[in-house]
Amino acid sequence: MSFIWPDMLWLLLVLPLLVLAYWVMMRRRKKYAMQYAGLATVRQAMDSTQQIRRHIPPALFLVALALMLLAAARPVAIMMLPSDQKTVILAVDVSGSMRANDVVPSRLAAAISAVKTFVQDMPRNSRVGLVAFAGTAAIVQAPTSNRDDLLDALDRLQLQRATAVGSGILVSLKAIFPDIEFNLDSLDPRPLESQDKLTAQELGKEPKSKPPGQFVPVPPGSYNSAAIILLTDGQTTTGPDPVEASLMAAERGVRVYTVGIGTEAGKILTGDGWAMHVRLDEEPLKKIAEVTKAQYFHAGTAHDLANVYKTLSSHLTLERREREVSGLFAAGAAVFAILSAFLSMLWFNRVL
């Protein structure tokens, strides 16, 4: 737990002073009672039960005061709250390496099965889109709340040649921001002005002044209305550098959750006179997740992949957020103050 106004916590030092003042007052009261009270009164004052009861109202009042002071410091707690994310783009690798069967029955078949379950479990008010990428990337299904259209699009996925993970990220980003511009023919797909701005930030300098309406980067992970889930074996063979592509998502605050499917040992695929060793390349996927303030998940089996999508579902529907809880402390202070006043009234009327 943290506090918005932590300087207010210094007021808590008043509490020990109040306890000391109360102790001094009780000592003086006891001294006067011993001087002027009759024997019956002294016996009653020495009764341990009565002594404990008479301290309860002041103790409750002290707790109420402590809670009020904590509320004044405006405490903030991390809570699990419904997410604002309304759009999720699923970017699925359909390159030839996804036919490897180190994940049974195959990487692609296991991926499609897990994605279908994920889609069906998503809240109905969420819009889900589908991007398929191999040597190039394309939006197979624009973001929609119609689950049947999305499931049909998943069934139409077919394997193709080459792998352009960076293109998959960029086309997914375009499904969220249709006006985004990028260059698929360069390792760094960002427009020149974005490259200048990022370079200036990295060097600790002020970027050059831009015309009004020019894109201004936001903190990574700060855009809560959409997210991208990238599923691939991570081996890029063509297209933009995937980490450079993820910088464009980071500049717009979009998280890119990466799911690596396959094993480190990989599998040898054979064809007409050729053989190719395909294995999971985790490093770029971890970097993409790190840059965009998301998470990387490894799925070495179909069961692992299903569990990954269950975890992702909870991440996208419930999100850890900081929320001010000073109202709870103030409400608690009010309850303790009322109890203190009520018990004090009963005490003075000799009900207790």
**Amino acid in the structure at residue 341:** A
Enumerate the H helices of the chain as residue ranges. Answer: 14-36, 39-46, 48-72, 107-121, 147-155, 165-176, 192-202, 242-251, 282-291, 302-317, 326-348
pLDDT of residue 137: 94
Enumerate the H helices of 75-204 as residue ranges. Answer: 107-121, 147-155, 165-176, 192-202
Element of type H or E holding 281: none
Tens of pLDDT along the chain (352 residues) come to 777 778 888 888 888 888 888 788 877 766 665 555 554 555 555 555 666 777 777 888 888 888 888 888 888 876 555 555 578 999 999 998 898 888 889 999 999 999 998 888 887 778 899 999 999 999 999 999 899 999 999 999 999 989 999 999 999 999 999 988 888 888 888 765 444 444 444 444 444 444 545 678 899 998 888 999 999 987 899 999 999 999 999 999 999 999 999 887 777 777 666 677 788 889 999 999 999 999 999 988 888 888 888 888 776 765 555 667 777 778 877 887 787 777 777 666 554 4
Residue 350 structure tokens: 């000799």
- Sequence-distant (≥ 6) Cβ neighbours of residue 328 within 8 angstroms: none
Spatial separation of the C-alpha atoms in residues 236 and 132, rounded to whole Å: 14
DSSP string over 292-337: TT--EEEESSHHHHHHHHHHHHHHHHEEEEEEE-HHHHHHHHHHHH
pLDDT of residue 203: 42
Phi, psi of 251 (to 5 degrees): -65, -20
pLDDT of residue 58: 81
pLDDT of residue 208: 47
Q: Which of 337, 263, 317 is nearest to 106 (CA)?
A: 263
Spatial separation of the C-alpha atoms in residues 223 and 227, rounded to whole Å: 8
Residue 87 structure tokens: 């759009």
pLDDT of residue 301: 85
Determine if the pTM surpasses 0.75: no
pLDDT of residue 142: 94
- Sequence-distant (≥ 6) Cβ neighbours of residue 172 within 8 angstroms: 89, 91, 129, 131, 137, 228, 230, 256
Spatial separation of the C-alpha atoms in residues 282 and 256, rounded to whole Å: 14
pLDDT of residue 129: 94
